[in-house]
Amino acid sequence: MKKLLASAILLGLAAPQAAIAAEEVNVYSYRQPFLVEPMFKEFTAETGIKVNVKFAKEGLAEKLQQEGQYSPADVVLTTDISRLVELSDKELVQAVDSKVIDANVPAHFRDNEDEWFALTLRTRNVYSSRDRVGRLPADFDYTDLANPEWKGKICTRSGKHPYNISLVSSMVAHYGEAETKAWLEGFKANLARKPQGNDRAQVKAVKEGLCDLAVGNSYYLGKMVNDEKQKSWAEAVYINFPGQKSNGTHVNVSGMAMAKYAPNQENAQKLMEFLTGDKAQQMYAEVNYEYPVKEGVNRSELVASWGDFNADDVSLDKVAEYHSTAIKLLDEVKFDL
């Protein structure tokens, strides 16, 4: 009897420890490890909740569909508004009722049904050669990428990459399908080479003299400045914010959503709230050179040195709405060929 009582006491003591050990949250992420792991480590240090991450370049929506109700995913991190909307449209995520998130993320940077939330902002910039071009005029616009004066002088990654699809989608939102197609034809005619590589590769191409202008996201400049092997690429260009005399600079987001069948909902919400808070938002700014979504959080000193800009205020939902149209137009003009 004493042995049974002792065993029962030991089991009773072990139960809370097992519960503590089981404190975890599972993340599916399009964001690269070096971009998000610093935040996860800080979250675990503060809460004791372990963050398990599966990284992917594509296919997370399909993975969630295949796994269904047995999916271990709690939180999904994405790199583009179209991917956030895709998760919502395919009913792979659920609404999150959080006063903390609502206070941290402005209404125009979250879904009106609270199924997804932006975490950071990034601008789609045009980089210009310091030696051959200098800073672009204050009235330079994305439409100018189709001007004949830039024939054979522009480099960009694939038009089918989500960053460029979102830019084209915003052009459709502003100018309509026919005018955007004409713009794409002019843009393609001005390419110095077939679209290839990532955003950093375009800046490298400017440094090497292959092109004079390159299209790329803002935060990559910060990464290159702080990489000894790529610093010379960054020093070879100026960063320009198009659209300052028209619609504003195109802004995209990284964001998050709670998976539909999240097995650790409470921990998932804690992580989501943490990522929108002051500490994580400041880390995004300092470590990733992105623009925080939470008002009052300062940009990094380097990002601030790039100057202020007016952002395009077209709604993110509208940009996502024209995603399929943008892909169709890119195919029609054979942009990547």
Which structure tokens are listed for 80? 């583009």
Which region among 121-130, 170-179, 313-322 has the lowest average model confidence (pLDDT)? 313-322
81, 166 in Cβ contact below 8 A?
yes
Q: Residue 58 above 90 pLDDT?
A: no
- Residues 292-305 pLDDT 10s: 999 999 999 999 99
What's the confidence (pLDDT) of residue 2? 42
For the chain, percent of residues with pLDDT exceeding 90: 82
Q: Which one has a higher pLDDT value, 110 or 10? A: 110
Closest residue by Cα to residue 190 from 153, 143, 140: 153
Q: What is the mean pLDDT of residues 284-288?
A: 87
Using DSSP's 3-state secondary structure scheme, residue 99 falls into helix
CA–CA distance, 212 with 203 (Å, rounded to integer): 9
What's the confidence (pLDDT) of residue 21? 41
In which band, very low, low, confident or very high, does the pLDDT at 18 lie, cut at 50, 70 and 90? very low
CA–CA distance, 9 with 21 (Å, rounded to integer): 19
What's the confidence (pLDDT) of residue 6? 44
Domains located in the chain, CATH noted: 24-120+252-299 (3.40.190.10), 122-250+308-332 (3.40.190.10)
Q: What is the mean pLDDT of residues 56-76?
A: 95
92, 259 in Cβ contact below 8 A?
yes
In which band, very low, low, confident or very high, does the pLDDT at 112 lie, cut at 50, 70 and 90? confident
- Burial bucket for residue 48 (CB in 10 Å: 0-12, 13-18, 19+): exposed
Q: Could you tell me the pTM of the whole model? A: 0.84
The chain-wide mean pLDDT, for the chain, equals 92
